[in-house]
Structure 1
Amino acid sequence: MKTKSANQTNNKVDLGSAPIGKLLLKLAIPCITAQIINVLYNIVDRMYIGHIPHIGSDALTGVGVTMPLITAIAAFASLICMGSAPRSSIFLGQNNKNVAERIMNQSFVLLIIVAIVLTAGVLIFGPNLLSAFGASEATLPYAWSYIQIYALGTIFVQIALGMNAFINSQGYSQWGMLTVCIGAILNIILDPIFIFTLNMGVRGAALATIISQGVSAAFVFWFLCSKHSYLHINPKFFKISWHIVAPCLALGLSPFIMQITESVLTISFNSSLLRYGGDLAVGSMTILSSVMQFALLPLTGLTQGAQPILSYNFGAGNKERIIQTFKLLLVCCLVYSISLCAFCEIAPRSVAMIFSSDAQLLDYTEWSLRIYIAGVAIFGMQIACQQTFVALGNAKTSLFLAIFRKIILLIPLIYILPMFVENKVFGVFLAEPISDIVAATTTAIVFVKYAKNKLPKLLAENLKKSQAQKQAAQA
C-alpha cells in the first residue's frame, strides 16, 4: 500500500513542482499576515500604554526598556527552531520523514527546558538587568511591573513561536497564520479591558499578552498532534540526540544572533541615548524600534514563505526552482524595503503619532526617524540573501553575516560616531543606516560567490541522496 509523500500531503501544496509565483504567494501571504499580527502583541501594548493618562510617556519608555529581555526570550525559540525547521524541510525533500519528525520532537523538548531556565533568570535578575538596559528611577517601576508578569508566560512564548515554525516549514502556512491570529486577536481584546477597565496599567498589558500566547501555544500543540499535520509530536522521539540537534542549533545560530543582538543593540542605543538625550531620547528610540520591528515584518514573512520552497528543493537537488524562487524573493523584498523607506522619510510624524500624542516626543521622533530609517532601502537585499543561506542549510555563512552587521559594524558605531559629531544623539542614530548599507552590500557579494562556486556541488549531492531515498521507498 502506497503512502503519501511529504510533498503531496503539505496542505495540498506541491513544493516540488507547483508554479513558483503562485506557490510563494500562497505561502508568503499567510506568513506575512502572521508576522504582522504576531508583533501586535507588543505593538498594541505600547499603543495603549503610551496613551495612559498622566503616566503614558514614562510607562511607554519603561516598557521599551524591557524589549531586550523580550527579544532574548524570542531569540532562544529561534535558536532551537529556526534552524531545526529548515533542516526538517530538507529531510522531507529527501523523502526522509523519520529524521524530520525526530528533529521536530527534540526541538519541542529543548524549548521547554530553555523556557524554565529563562523564566527563573528573568525573575531573579530582572531589576538589575532593566537598570543596565537604560531604565531610570522614573521608568524602572513600569518596566519591572511589565516584565515580571511577562516572564511567567515564557513557556507559552517558546512553544507558540518555536513550534509554529514547523507548521510553516511543512507548507501549512494558513494554519501557521491562524495560530498567530488566535492569540493576537485575543490580546487586542484583552488589552483595553485589563489596562483601562480593570485599571491594571502595564501589568494588565503583560497579563493580556501571556494569556494570549498561552492560547496560541495550546493551538500549536493541538495541531502538531492532530491528523492535519504530516509531522507529529510523539513522546517516543523526545530523547535528545546530539547528532540530531547539533546541526540544527548550528543553523539556528544565525537567526538567534540576529535577534539576541537586537537586545544588545537596544541596550547600546538606550544607554547612549540616556547619556546624551535623557528619557526623551530613550522614549523616541522605543518608537523607532517599534516602527522598524513592525515595518520589516513583511520581509520576514516573505522569507518564511520562501523557506519551505528553498529548503525542500535544496534537499531534492532542484537547481532551477531554487534560482526562480530566490529571484522572485529578492525582487519582492527590494520593492518593499524601498517603498517603506520612502514613506517614512516623507511622513515620519504620522508614523510616530501611532505610538504617542506627546508633542515633545513627536518632535524628537520626527527628525530621528528620518535618520534611523535611511538605510532600509536596500535592506531587502540583505534579508533575502541572508535568510536564503539559512534555508539552504549554510550555517557558517549565515552566522557570519548576522555577526557582521550588528556586532562588527553597528554596536561599535553607536559609541564611535558621537565622538566625531557635535550633535551626539544624531551620531547615535546615524550608526543604523551606515551599518545597513555596508552589511547589505557585503551580503550580496558573499551570496553571489556562494551561488557560483559552492551551491551547484551541494545540489548535485542532494539530488543523488533524494533519488536513493526514493528508490529505497519504492522497493
Structure 2
Amino acid sequence: MKFQTLNAEQNYKRMTEQPVRSLILQLATPTIISMLITSFYSMTDTIFVSRLGTESSAAVGIVYSIMSIIQSIGITFGQGSANTVSRLLGAKQRTEADQVFSTAFFTSMSMALLFTLAGLAGTTSLVRFLGATPTIETEAVSYASVILVGAPWMAVCYTMNNNLRSEGKAHLGMLGMSSGAILNVILDPIFIFVLGMGIKGAALATVLSQGFSFFILFSHFVKRRSNLHLSLRHVRLKWWIYRDIFTVGAPSLFRTLLHTVSAICLNVFSAPFGDEAIAAMSITTRVMQFLNSALIGFGQGLQPVAGFSWGAKRYDRLIEAYTFCVRTGVLAFTFIGVVCFAGAHYIMLLFLSDPTVIAIGTVAIRYQCILMPLSSFNTLSGMVFQSTGHGSSSSVLALARQGFFFVPVISLLPGLVGLAGVQLAQPIADVLTFVLSLAYILPFLKKLRSLTSVG
C-alpha cells in the first residue's frame, strides 16, 4: 500500500490552508479505522475468552486495568509529545520536534519496562488489588503474567502512533495498529482452542500482535516515511521537553489512570453481586470502549488541525474545526446510541449465554447509550484544550468524568440502590461532566473569537 509522502513544507501548507472540514475528515478517517480496529484487541480477547466461561470473562475484566496502565504510559508520552510536536511543526521548529519525539519514544519504553519488572514481581498481589475474587484469581494471574511481558512494545506503539498522527500522517499509524489487530483476531482462536492454551493463549496472541504492530510503526521512521527523525542522538533530557510533554500529556495520563481506577472500583463494587456482575460490567466496558474509540479517532483528526492552527495563530480555523467536530460527533452518537440501545440484548449475546450476565449487561449498556451524545461533547471539548496546550483545563475535564464524579458515585450509589447503582454510576458522571465542560469551553470559544477579530 502506497501513500503520498509530503515534505515538511508541503505538510505545513496542507495543515494551515486546506479547507478545515475536508482536512479533518481526511485525517480522522484512518484514525477512526485504526482506533476501532485497535480496540478490537480487548474486544476479541473478551469474545473468545468468554467462550471459556463466566469466570474467564471476569478475569479478562480484571486484567483490563493492567492493560490500561500500559496504555497510559504510551498515550501519556504519545499525546504529550504529539500535541507538542504538532505545534512545533506549525511554528516550523522541526529540530525541536525531532527532539521531543525521540525523547518521548525512549522514555516511554523505559517506563513500561520498569512496570513490567514491578508487575511480574508481584502478579498475584496485583490482580487481588485490582478486584479479583478467589474464583477468578488463578486465571487472572495467567493472563496478566503474559500481558506484562509485552508492556514495553505495547506502550511505545501508542507513542509512535500519536506522533504519526501529529504530523498529519494518520494513515501510517492506521497501517501499523490495524495490522496487529487483524493478526490478533487470527491468533486468538488458534492459541485458545486449537492449541488448547486457554486464557494464556489469548494473552500471548495479544502480545505477539502488538509486537507486529511495533515493527510496522517503527519501520515508518527507519524508512523515513515520516518527517520526524527518530534517533538516540535526538534525545534531550531537558526540563522544557518533559515540561511540555507532561503539561499536554497529563490529561491523557489522568484520563487513562482514572479509567484504571474506575475499572478497579467497578470490579470491587460489582463483586458483592457475584462474578456474573463483574463479567457483565466488564463486557459493558468493552462495548462502550469500542464505540467511544470511534469518537476518540474522530477527535484525533481534530487535534493536529487544532494544534497547527493554534501554533500558526489561525484561530478562525480552530473555531471552525471544533464546532464542526462537535456537531458531527453529537449527531453521529445520537444515532449510534439509539441503535445500540435497541440492540443491547443481542450485543450481550455475542459474548455469553449466561442469562444473569445478559440481563445485567443489557441494562448497563442501555443506560450508557442514553448519554452518548453528551459524552461526545465532553470528549471533544477535552481534546481541543489538550491539543492547544491548555493542559490544566484538559486535566480537570479528564479528572472529572472518571475521578471527581464517577468514583464518589459508584462508591455511594450501590449501597443505596443495589446493583442499579453500579449500572447508573457512569451515566450520572457523564451528566455532571457535561455541565463542567460547558463551563470551560464557552469562555474559551469567546476568547478565540476575540483573538480572531483582533487579528
TM-score, reference length from structure 1:
0.91
1:412 aligns with 2:415: no
Which one of 380, 388, 398 corresponds to residue 384 of structure 1? Answer: 380
Which sits farther off after the overlay, 103-112 or 230-239? 230-239
Displacement of 1:451? 2.2
Which sits farther off after the overlay, 337-346 or 405-414? 337-346
Q: 1:459 to 1:94 in 2, by over 3 A?
A: farther
Secondary structure of 2:274's counterpart equals helix
On the 8 A contact 1:314/1:459 being kept in 2, the answer is no
On the 8 A contact 2:86/2:308 being kept in 1, the answer is yes
Displacement of 1:86? 0.7
Q: 1:6 — aligned with what?
A: 8
Q: 1:468 — aligned with what?
A: none
Report the Cα distance in structure 2 between the residues aligned to 1:299 and 1:199, rounded to whole angstroms. Answer: 36
Q: 2:197 — aligned with what?
A: 200
Report the Cα distance in structure 2 between the residues aligned to 1:78 and 1:337, rounded to whole angstroms. Answer: 24
Q: 1:168 — aligned with what?
A: 165
Q: 1:61 — aligned with what?
A: 58
Report the Cα distance in structure 1 between the residues aligned to 2:9 and 2:256, rounded to whole angstroms. Answer: 31
Q: 1:355 — aligned with what?
A: 351
Which one of 92, 96, 99 corresponds to residue 99 of structure 1? Answer: 96
- What code does the residue aligned with 1:128 have? S
Q: 1:295 — aligned with what?
A: 291
Displacement of 1:5? 6.1
Displacement of 1:73? 0.9
Percent pairwise identity: 27
Secondary structure of 1:240's counterpart equals coil
Secondary structure of 2:16's counterpart equals coil
Q: 2:46 — aligned with what?
A: 46
Q: 2:212 — aligned with what?
A: 215
Q: 1:343 to 1:29 in 2, by over 3 A?
A: same
1:336 aligns with 2:332: yes
Secondary structure of 1:420's counterpart equals helix
Gapped regions of structure 1 (runs ≥ 5): 464-475
Any residues of structure 2 matched to 1:319-334 within 5 Å, and which? 319-334=315-330
Displacement of 1:281? 0.7
Q: 1:81 — aligned with what?
A: 78
Displacement of 1:454? 6.6
On the 8 A contact 1:375/1:432 being kept in 2, the answer is no
Q: 1:455 to 1:213 in 2, by over 3 A?
A: farther
Displacement of 1:6? 2.4
Q: 1:216 to 1:432 in 2, by over 3 A?
A: same
1:134 aligns with 2:131: yes
Secondary structure of 1:214's counterpart equals helix
Which one of 175, 180, 200 corresponds to residue 183 of structure 1? Answer: 180
Gapped regions of structure 2 (runs ≥ 5): 1-5
Displacement of 1:191? 0.9
Q: 1:451 — aligned with what?
A: 445
Any residues of structure 2 matched to 1:275-286 within 5 Å, and which? 275=272, 277-286=273-282
1:430 aligns with 2:424: yes
Q: Deviations over 1:353-384 (max 9, x none)?
A: 12222233212222232234432231111011
On the 8 A contact 1:9/1:230 being kept in 2, the answer is no
Q: Runs in 1 of length 4+ with deviation above 4 angstroms?
A: 454-460
Report the Cα distance in structure 2 between the residues aligned to 1:373 and 1:328, rounded to whole angstroms. Answer: 22
Q: 1:34 — aligned with what?
A: 34
Q: 1:396 to 1:207 in 2, by over 3 A?
A: same
Which sits farther off after the overlay, 124-133 or 323-332? 124-133
- What code does the residue aligned with 1:282 have? I
- What code does the residue aligned with 1:442 have? L
On the 8 A contact 1:5/1:95 being kept in 2, the answer is no
Displacement of 1:7? 4.4
On the 8 A contact 2:247/2:389 being kept in 1, the answer is no
- What code does the residue aligned with 2:270 have? L
Q: 2:20 — aligned with what?
A: 20
Secondary structure of 1:14's counterpart equals helix
Secondary structure of 1:16's counterpart equals helix
- The structure number with the bigger radius of gyration is 1
Secondary structure of 2:158's counterpart equals helix
Displacement of 1:455? 7.6
- What code does the residue aligned with 1:307 have? Q
Displacement of 1:63? 1.0
Which sits farther off after the overlay, 297-306 or 337-346? 337-346
Report the Cα distance in structure 2 between the residues aligned to 1:9 and 1:380, rounded to whole angstroms. Answer: 29
1:308 aligns with 2:310: no
